[in-house]
Chains A and B, each alone.
Chain A
Amino acid sequence: MMLKAAFQYSYINAKIRSLKSMLLKRIDYENMSRISGYEGLVECLKRTSFALKWKNYQPSFDGLIQMYYEDLFSSYDKVIEMLSGNRKKLIQHLYQKYEMENLKVILRIISSEKSNKKLTGKSRYLLSLKKKTASFSAKDLLKAKNVDEIIYLLQGTWYGEPLKHSLYRFALEKETFPLEMALDLFYYKRLWQHISSLSYRERKIAQNLLGVQYDILNIFWIFRFKKMFYFSPEEILNYSLMHGKYLSANRRLKLAYSVDYNDMLNNLIGTPYKELLAYSDDPEICYRKLLSYKLSLARKNWQGFPFQIGTILDYLVFKEIEIRDLISLTEANRLSLSFDKVKDYFIYNHYAENSESTN
């Protein structure tokens, strides 16, 4: 069994480790957090693996963010290229999360289109995904007259089904929330199906890490729906994910019916999340705390047996959090905010400690 895994993963493991060695180091984050101004940030980045990406990049803050995403997508592409079968399908689906985010932006643009001017302006929020891996053409969707036409154009992709089922609500409410929520729920349902199609050993590994992601989203959503949208417990339960690592159906039910934040924390007893959320009731801060937990979990997995799917998933967690932190740093720089004011927004402290010892 071990020999088979070593054979299957020898190349993948070597490549993933070489990709990981290109991630930013603690010193890079420290340098970037000390500087102010766009030029300084660019100079810092040019001393990292991002120096290789400098050819086609537009010199602006937006250009930098675009470049970070392109780097993330190229990492996904490299990982996908190495894989085959169900593992490849799983990672491709993870990658489609960004395509789904683009679709959400398009839906917002089309449903709120008042003038062509606005449309052109908003389409800059689209992520530039590679055409060869795309399920749809954003350019074609942006030409659609209405959401019905978008659904028609998405026939044959998995996006069509949830949108079709939520069109009834969109017609009544004239808001994209039901469409977006339906996409999210369907996306995570399919993701779990992809995880379930792996072999028993790999399924357990993937459920262990990605199950935490489901828990994080469920906690974050329940928290936000309660605190900011004042949804009823019944609605909250219908907008939650069915799977996860620690959050069973019963625990989700209790969380949805929690009367306040302390009650929520009590309902998380027995999970690692209670300790993490004890310090603040700000949803954003809580989300970062939960992400840092996911990061530490990935870090722990990274040190284990290398010839398994966890290596790939861990690397993608590292990469996504790197991009998230870089965007936070760039935005802080754009707004000329001092590092002390924004340091809570970064997860790199946890990350850097991990990366230095494992590289």
Chain B
Amino acid sequence: MFRPAKMAKIDLQVPQDYIAKTTSIISSLKILHLMNIRKTRVGELDLESEADSNLLRKYSELKERLEKIFRVLDIKENNQLSETYPYQQDDVNPQKDFSVIEKTVQQLEGEIFSFIKAIESPEKAKAEKENLLRQLEIFSQIKIDLNLFCDCKFLYAASGFIPSDNIGRLELSLSNIYHLYIPSTTFSKRRLIFVFGSRKDKEKIEKALKSAYFEKIEIPHYDHAHDINFEILKGKIKKLEMENRLAGTRLEKLRNGVEKKLADLNRKVKQSLTLLEIGKSFDKVGDTYHISGWIPQKVTPTLKKKVLEVTDQQSIVSVSIPNGDRKYREKFTKIPTCFQNPAFFRPFEKLVSEYAIPSYHEVEPTVFFALSFLLMFGVMFGDIGHGFILFIGGLLTLKKSKKENIRDIGLIIMECGFMSTFFGFLYGSIFGFEHIIPPLWFNPMENISYFMKVTIVFGIIVISIGLILNIINSIMNSDYKTGIFGEFGIMGLIFYWGCIGLAIIYLATGKFQANFGYIFLILFLPLLIIFFKEPLFNLYTRIIHKRNLSVFPENIGIYLLESFIEVNDIVIGFLSNTVSFIRISAFALAHAGLFLAVFALANTLQDLKGGILWYWIIMILGNMGIIVIESVIVTIQTIRLEYYEFFGKFFKGGGEIYKPVKI
């Protein structure tokens, strides 16, 4: 819980014939964190990576072709995959399957695309007829005898639509040509126009019209009144509509016929692609593949057994535990960090990772983070009613959402709600009413000074835990310089606790009753050691490790100046970090303060007509506002305290998250 899961490095040597099955089993077990082979000792030998890039490209093309078919047939590919065809782990072999898959896709394409082409032509014809009908309807509105217009023998005449924006340009372009231009009505940002000119200028006018995005209307020559022709056109459109409907039914039939086949093909293509992608991390010597990765120690036997099973005991599986030669191994690769926290702390792993990924060799701080986060949230937002609402909101989010991230947020809200309710009982506060339930501990507004002292004590505990964790981390990493002489090491802790001791004596007696010996040993000496940590550590290395090091750094002046600033910073830092925790009580008081404002407004409106109604409207809206605003503010402040005052003391991070390979 306080450390990442213990990891083991696993090296597999698999004969070529078994590589597809091995890759498949690795992907389905979802426990192996693959190492980039270039970062291993084998990689240092500069052996060629075994990614079949040609096959990978061919499969990518197949995937795109299948996507196109899905699109044309309007089938949602993902749903079909997950629900109808669950993953079968050992039936995929990218090299062997390719020609069969490719042939099937080609057949399907032929069948589907020729059908689509056939049904597109009546659809297109219908669209054309509908367009013509629309245009004729417009002409009928402006009462023009179209036959007269079409009968112009000595004049060039054109009618059609032009985007209204282009009219100015068209007029300019025709200004050097004899013409007559008649603008008419506007329909959806396009103007109906009639243009007449000399037949000898026909080419020029047509070029001008075309470049002005003029959409010419070809008017059919009618011998009868408009309405009769409209009827004929409408009849034709109806007939084409029937044809389209029939085609739609046939398309549905085709879709149902190929859906299963397509989904199966798609699954195989996607799995092959994943396997080939995974193959990029493998290496090959002769006919043997080399696979390296990290897995949690406790599941090592499972992987070993399965791999040997699928390879008919023909592969070699070697497992090594990183311990004594840790630094040597880390020259090549990082050991991934696998969190192992109880379910109710797991969502906090993401908040910790936002700061940094814990490295394999340091204390995993999620539990400390989660506990202090919840505690601080509860203290700042203590209210039975609000806590209960948050709890229910979180619970609903957790139950209703299918997305893991949202569910995690739901769980955090639920836990925060629980702590809020708990502190609500301690404060005796329910929806801001503080005199309905007697407080089990104290009322914040009536004990402000006491509350501040409590939060400072809480801050001292959090900072002290941070310092202790830093000492543990330093010792675990053999970094004695930081662990003993560092500002957050043993010397820092002695100084910090020394100051606290002095403050306690002062608060208890009202006087500084420390003697010189105490002040020298507890305050001055630790600072002096931190001031001279570099020379002291060099001296230690010279004596213990017999190395020929100069005790003082080269530029002693700059060193002394830097150390002076650092020591000053430590003194100010510890003070400000501790005082910073007063914000916990300040925000708890702000919670009560906001209620004062809501109550004041509600009481004022109570005197108006329908006052009771107004009173409760304000109370409900006020409570909703407070829940939303305060939840956000309190969360931000809590995270701030965690990241800066707590993590800043010990958490270095720089790890790599454990990501097992999976399809």
Contacts and interface: CB of A to CB of B under 8 A. Distances in A.
Where chain A touches its partner, the secondary structure class is helix
B302 interface: no
Nearest to A149: B71
A169 B172 contact: no
B279 to A, nearest CB: 21
A336 interface: no
B166 A238 contact: yes
Given A145-B71, A232-B207, A257 B169 contact: no
Contacts of A235: 173, 207-208, 210-211
B169 A232 contact: no
Given A161-B189, A234-B204, A168 B176 contact: no
B173 A237 contact: yes
Interface in B167-186: 168-170, 172-177
A116 B58 CA distance: 11
Given A232-B204, A233-B176, A238-B166, A168 B72 contact: no
Contacts of A257: 176
Interface in A157-179: 161-162, 165-166, 168-169, 178
A42 interface: no
Contacts of A182: 213
B61 A116 contact: yes
A168 B204 contact: no
B68 interface: yes
Nearest to B215: A168
B163 interface: yes
Interface string A134-151: 000000000101000000
A252 B172 contact: yes
B445 interface: no
A357 interface: no
A341 interface: no
B169 A240 contact: yes
Where chain B touches its partner, the secondary structure class is helix
B65 interface: yes
Interface string A211-236: 00000000000000000000111110
Nearest to A252: B172
B491 to A, nearest CB: 37
Interface string B46-82: 0000000000000011001101100110000000000
A242 B212 CA distance: 13
A117 B57 CA distance: 10
A120 interface: yes
Interface string B259-289: 0000000000000000000000000000000
A242 B167 CA distance: 11
Nearest to B116: A145
A185 interface: yes
Given A166-B213, A249-B172, A253-B175, A116 B65 contact: yes
A117 B174 CA distance: 45
A165 B190 contact: yes
A302 interface: no
B208 A238 contact: yes
B165 interface: yes
Given A182-B213, A189-B165, A257-B176, A234 B68 contact: no
Contacts of A168: 213, 215
Contact of A242 (B169, B176, B177): B169
B61 to A, nearest CB: 6
Contacts of A120: 60, 64
Given A120-B64, A234-B204, A165 B211 contact: no
B126 to A, nearest CB: 14
A238 B170 contact: yes
Contacts, number: 70
A186 interface: yes
B71 A178 contact: no
B74 to A, nearest CB: 11
Nearest to B204: A234
B124 to A, nearest CB: 10
Contact of B208 (A143, A186, A234): A234
A185 B60 CA distance: 39
A232 B177 CA distance: 13
A185 B168 CA distance: 13
B211 A238 contact: yes
A237 B211 CA distance: 9
Contact of B211 (A116, A234, A242, A252): A234
Contact of A165 (B163, B168, B207): B163
Contacts of B170: 238
A116 B65 CA distance: 7
Contacts of A249: 172
B172 A253 contact: yes
Given A161-B189, A185-B165, A238 B71 contact: no
Contacts of B165: 185-186, 189
Interface string B94-117: 000000000000000000000000
B213 A169 contact: yes
Nearest to A182: B213
A177 B660 CA distance: 50
Contacts of B189: 161, 165
A145 B67 CA distance: 12
Contacts of B64: 116, 119-120
A98 interface: no
A239 interface: yes
Contact of A169 (B173, B204, B210): B210
A169 to B, nearest CB: 6
Contacts of A185: 165-166
B204 to A, nearest CB: 6
Interface string B194-212: 0000000000110110111
A143 B69 CA distance: 12
Contact of A239 (B163, B168, B174, B211): B211
B175 to A, nearest CB: 7
Contacts of B212: 238
Given A169-B213, A235-B208, A143 B71 contact: yes
Nearest to A119: B64
A186 to B, nearest CB: 7
B72 A234 contact: no
Pairs of residues from A and B, 6 with the lowest C-beta to C-beta distance, nearest first: A234-B208, A238-B211, A237-B173, A235-B211, A116-B64, A234-B173
Interface of B: 60-61, 64-65, 67-68, 71-72, 163, 165-166, 168-170, 172-177, 189-190, 204-205, 207-208, 210-213, 215
24 contacts: A116-B65, A116-B68, A120-B60, A143-B71, A162-B163, A165-B163, A165-B190, A165-B213, A166-B213, A168-B215, A169-B213, A182-B213, A185-B166, A232-B208, A233-B173, A234-B207, A234-B208, A234-B211, A237-B169, A238-B208, A242-B169, A249-B172, A253-B172, A253-B175
Given A165-B189, A233-B173, A237-B169, 17 more contacts: A117-B61, A165-B163, A165-B190, A166-B213, A168-B213, A168-B215, A169-B213, A186-B165, A231-B211, A234-B174, A234-B204, A234-B208, A235-B210, A237-B173, A238-B173, A238-B208, A249-B172
